[in-house]
Structure 1
Amino acid sequence: MAAGAPRIFVSHLAGVAVFDPNGDQVGRVRDLVAMLRVGRRPPRLLGLVVELSTRRRIFLPMTRVIGIESGQVITTGVLNVRRFEQRPTERLVFGELLDRVVRLVETDEEVTVLDVSIQQLPTRRDWEIHRVFVRKGRSGAFRRAKGETLTVEWSAVTGFSLEEHGQGAESLLATFEQLRAADLANVLHHLSPKRRGEVAAALDDDRLADVLEELPEDDQIEILSKLKEERAADVLEAMDPDDAADLLGELPTEDVERLLKLMQPEEAADVRRLMAYEEKTAGGLMTTEPIVLRPDATVADALSRVRNPDLSPALAAQVYVCRPPDETPTGKYLGTVHFQRLLRDPPFTLVGALLDDDLQPLAPDAALPVVAGFFATYDMVAAPVVDESGSLLGAVTVDDVLDHMLPDDWRETEFHLVEEEPHAT
């Protein structure tokens, strides 16, 4: 749904059909999954519970919802068909929030929740529960209240949100929700192993994947080993392929094979491909998910891809122009178009006319010092990796180069500095 879209009351979503981009129905909405937050902040909507034709109920993250309109939900077409299991920090909107008795903050009157509205945040892909439709008084099994109905902001009622003194992982996660992944990783690093496992288990897959990428290797292995294998595979899928490959490279071979078989085949294929390269080479450092365009794509097409909020700044700094196919490994690599060049040319300009093809791309077996020298010499933040046949295999970003050039304990050192900084005089 586009930013600025109108609010949607969840009662209108009960039982609506869910379609893939080709128009094929994949199931129906049976509930919505939300995460409460500290105080009166609106809950974050995590995703939908979708019932497939087989009657299996699965979880569909909101990041995979393209649109909600005309009584239907459109998805990206990528579904994880593992059975939905509710986690401790999650609340089912239909099952746990509707028909609940809460109180109006201003008057302390009891009201019954009849419906809630959701909306997409204007500058992000996140969704929130925004408003609450309530009836004054209680509803019961043997009587139906006929009190006044009204729609109020989420903050105008109490009885839902977490209290500041709440205990457990739920409160901790709500408190640190706004932290960057690296800062939340700092928090986890200093928890006891038991507590670290509890918090990791309560994080959603995407958030845990982001945090794992920022943790020291020992912490990564410890957390992954405590997850159920199917959950561990889901988290690995959510990680950048190069980070997932690095983590799997530290596990016993039999564990690696089990996890790869549980992953979606296309995700596992990318990780296997990366694991075939030596760790400190361009092939071992690269990600297999750069922005790839055909030469007849326009500047407008390129900018729409660059706007993807899930891309790191380094990956969004340039696009790679190749002959089809559009996913790595591609057809013939033609050149790179830098973000600044995209901003200088009209939207209808073809990217094939804007190529920077002067720089020699990196070979997959290029050693780390060669890769670092390339970045330093040409002031690059990302660089293409191309094989002998001329196909684009992926791209190396400067953060991965730094990660492998710094001392092995640099994350622990950084954590120490962050922790001690407030005490500095």
Structure 2
Amino acid sequence: MKIFVARLAGTPVFDPTGDQIGRVRDVVVGLRITGNPQVHGMVVEVQPRRRVFLPITRVRRIEAGALVFTGRLNMRRFEQRATETLVIGEVLDLSVRVGDEPMTVYDVAMEESLPSRWEITKVALFKGRRREPRTVDWGEVSGFDTLQKDQGAAGLIAAFESLRAADVASALHELPSKRRIEIARELTDDRLADVLEELPLDDQIGILGTLEPERAADVLEEMSPDDAADLLHDLPEEQAARLLALMEPGEAAPVRRLLTYADDTAGGVMTSEPVILPPNATVAEALAHIRQQDLPPAVAAQVYVTRPPTETPTGTYLGVSHFQRLLREPPSTLLGRVLDPSLDPIRPDFTLRQVHAFLANYNLVAAPVVDELGRLVGAVTVDDVLDHLLPDDWREGDDRDH
């Protein structure tokens, strides 16, 4: 059976009892001077964002949408040896030669030569801008042993295409810095913005600093205002001011407002773009808004009702309608009639401890933030609070041995 490695990216990994324990992130091989490379195993990501090694000898079967292994998984963090190569992270997009013909790798195939022994046997390549595909035997290709400064990114991006932004961020974080930057530069602005929001702050700053200022400003515009503000807050003051000046005024305005609040307050962590509607909007309109696919679940959990204007800072804040209440009401009901009168808003200067206590006391996933003029200026969600309560390096997982 021939299995193309790039298609394994993100495949769920199941233990012998049928429980999913993680997802495939890469395949580890040993390149040899002669003969096909031997597959050593898989890099599997388990929670919380820990990458561990699964020996190929423990893989029972690989099928559509699943990889099943036997025995126990060693939870020690994966460390790549000097003699090992990561197929997805280091082989895809290499410039190689088939005879005298220059080509680019976009995938490789592995096959089981003996029970529990897998080898890389085929290389899928393309040539030039037309990207006409061609598959050849591994032995026909030369150039895998050469360190390349101009390695492309198309193949790795294709392998990431079906992954969630958080999974792409995790994969990028594990790549060498040069490779990470290459991939980031090739992502579209909106995709890169989504990925940056999931990366550790050091990675965010490193990637943003390699972009042309105009492109960096475009990416910041695609980020949610609170995430963009968090990132700008940690940049040198001159760089942050320059990027803000390059952003479209309408996109920069909410970010500038968020930067006026202290980091450890409700104003500093809130989103300035919750779902806001006027009191004469209907339940049907509200449900249509919260059905939007790009809304995080915590933001979609409730609709805030204000007098016009309905962009922050809004007109007078009137109240909130929870989505469960909306589901129980006739579609034609006006939002002004289904407000929760028991929930008081919080102030922008609430500390994170106060916000945390407020959400916990009322079993909420989000809360309105209202200023001294009675205007809604944003909403704090439970994920905003968690991001700031957890250690700075929480996205990188726990390095302690199990």
The two structures have a TM-score, normalised by structure 2, of 0.63
Asked if the contact 1:317/1:338 (under 8 Å) is kept, the reply is yes
Q: Runs of 4+ in structure 1 displaced over 6 angstroms?
A: 161-167
Q: 2:367 aligns with which of 362, 366, 383?
A: 383
Aligned residue for 1:319, secondary structure, equals: strand
Paired amino acid for 2:176: S
Matches within 5 A, 1:3-42: none
Structure 1 position 361 matched with structure 2 position 364:
no
Aligned residue for 2:312, secondary structure, equals: coil
Structure 1 position 264 matched with structure 2 position 255:
no
Matches within 5 A, 1:151-190: 168-190=152-174
Aligned residue for 2:367, secondary structure, equals: strand
Bigger Cα displacement from structure 2, 163-172 vs 228-237:
163-172
Matches within 5 A, 1:121-136: none
Paired amino acid for 2:354: V
Q: 1:286 aligns with which of 239, 256, 270?
A: 270
The two structures have a TM-score, normalised by structure 1, of 0.59
Deviation track 1:234-292 (CA, whole Å, cap 9, x = no partner) reads: 10000010000000001111111110111110111100000000001000011110111
Distance 1:213 1:268 in 2: 17
Q: 1:409 aligns with which of 380, 393, 396?
A: 393
Corresponding position of 2:311: 327
Distance 2:374 2:394 in 1: 36
Paired amino acid for 2:314: T
Distance 2:263 2:245 in 1: 22
Structure 1 position 395 matched with structure 2 position 375:
no
Q: Give me the identity figure in percent.
A: 62
Structure 1 position 312 matched with structure 2 position 296:
yes
Aligned residue for 1:267, secondary structure, equals: helix
Q: 2:187 aligns with which of 200, 203, 214?
A: 203
Deviation track 1:56-97 (CA, whole Å, cap 9, x = no partner) reads: xxxxxxxxxxxxxxxxxxxxxxxxxxxxxxxxx9xxxxxxxx
Distance 1:382 1:333 in 2: 16
Structure 1 position 251 matched with structure 2 position 207:
no
Distance 1:299 1:410 in 2: 39
Corresponding position of 1:4: none
Aligned residue for 2:343, secondary structure, equals: coil
Matches within 5 A, 1:40-79: none
Deviation track 1:382-422 (CA, whole Å, cap 9, x = no partner) reads: 110001111000001111100000111111126x69xx9xx
Q: 2:334 aligns with which of 350, 357, 361?
A: 350
Unaligned runs of 5+ in 2: 1-5, 8-92, 94-129, 142-150
Corresponding position of 1:193: 177
Aligned residue for 1:316, secondary structure, equals: helix
Deviation track 1:299-336 (CA, whole Å, cap 9, x = no partner) reads: 01101111111111111110000011011101111100
Corresponding position of 1:371: 355
The structure with higher relative contact order (CA 8 Å, sep 6+) is 2
What is the alpha-carbon root mean square deviation over aligned residues?
2.2
Corresponding position of 1:274: 258
Corresponding position of 2:280: 296
